[in-house]
Amino acid sequence: MTSGESGNPFALSIGDLMAALLLVFILLVGATLLMVKEDEERTVELISEYQALQDSLYNDLRSEFEGDLERWSAVIERETLAIRFQEPEVLFGKGEATVRPRFEQILDNFFPRYIRILRQPEYRSSIREIRIEGHTSSEWAPGSTEEEAYFNNMRLSQDRTRTVLRYVLGTLDRREATDWTQNLITANGLSSSELIYTESGKEDREASRRVEFRVRTNAESQLEEILSQLAQNQEGVRQQDRE
């Protein structure tokens, strides 16, 4: 034993403590890196599952409705699975929330078939939400401020989606289908928050006035959670590196 050690009876225990703390730190970093790797692998897996589900649903929706889309003035977006009804004069009167007769006829034909596809065994357990979205242009009455126009259009779009929701539930004949749908369907008035623009960058007011039906799946929500956790884990690693 050296003279320094004999003068400090705690020297050995402090050294052991520092070594133990270093070991704990290394284990924590290793565990965090392992969690990040596992999260990355799970993210890749979920992306694959999500893409496969999206592709299958898109193909079935496209196959079911491709003969109707043109006469309905509707399109299906592959990336979001949104079915967009984009002829505003068919949907509602200007500034009104009552579904027009022509749109009622379209919904009578469209919605039961839409729900039948979503309730197929390969999809029904994966559906988290069926969204009815109402969108408007940014304009309102002349002289309105931008804020007034936004909130007036918000109220209008919310009224319209609730009206559409009430109507489409009445198109379903079977109680089982109605109950299943009611547990998942939501009405979302979005005002002018998601405008459509022309190629020149100007607001396309006619195209912006639309109603969309879209679905969210469990794979999508799980992926969002994994990505959020992955970001937190990576931030934890960066924090440890800074320390």
Query: How many CA atoms does the CB half-sphere of 83 hold within 13 Å?
Result: 25
| pLDDT higher than threshold 90 for residue 41 | no
Amino acid letter for position 143: G
| Mean pLDDT estimate for the chain | 85
Which residue did the predictor score with more confidence, 7 or 233?
A: 233
Residues 62 and 92: their CA atoms lie apart, in Å, by: 25
pTM metric for this prediction: 0.75
Which residue did the predictor score with more confidence, 238 or 146?
A: 146
The pLDDT tens digits for 63-112 are: 999 999 999 999 999 988 999 999 999 999 989 999 999 999 999 999 99
Residue with tokens 């919310």: 158
Contact 189, 97 (CB under 8 A): no
Give residue 49's pLDDT.
78
Residues 62 and 78: their CA atoms lie apart, in Å, by: 9
User: Homologous superfamily of 60-220 in CATH?
Assistant: OmpA-like domain (3.30.1330.60)
Question: Which percentage of the chain shows pLDDT scores above 90?
Answer: 65
Give residue 243's pLDDT.
58
Which residue did the predictor score with more confidence, 41 or 97?
A: 97
Question: Which of 120, 205, 129, 216 minimizes the C-alpha distance to 165?
Answer: 129
User: Domain residue spans in the chain?
Assistant: 3-43+226-242, 60-220
Query: How many CA atoms does the CB half-sphere of 48 hold within 13 Å?
Result: 6
Rounded mean pLDDT, 109-121: 97
Lowest mean pLDDT across 53-57, 71-75, 131-135? 53-57
SS3 category, 137 = coil
Give residue 138's pLDDT.
95
Confidence bin at 222 (pLDDT 50/70/90): low
SS3 category, 186 = strand
Rounded mean pLDDT, 151-162: 97
Distances, alpha carbon 220 to alpha carbons 39, 110, 181, in Å: 15, 25, 19
Lowest mean pLDDT across 6-10, 47-51, 76-80? 6-10
Distances, alpha carbon 5 to alpha carbons 16, 20, 21, in Å: 14, 20, 21
Rounded mean pLDDT, 208-215: 96
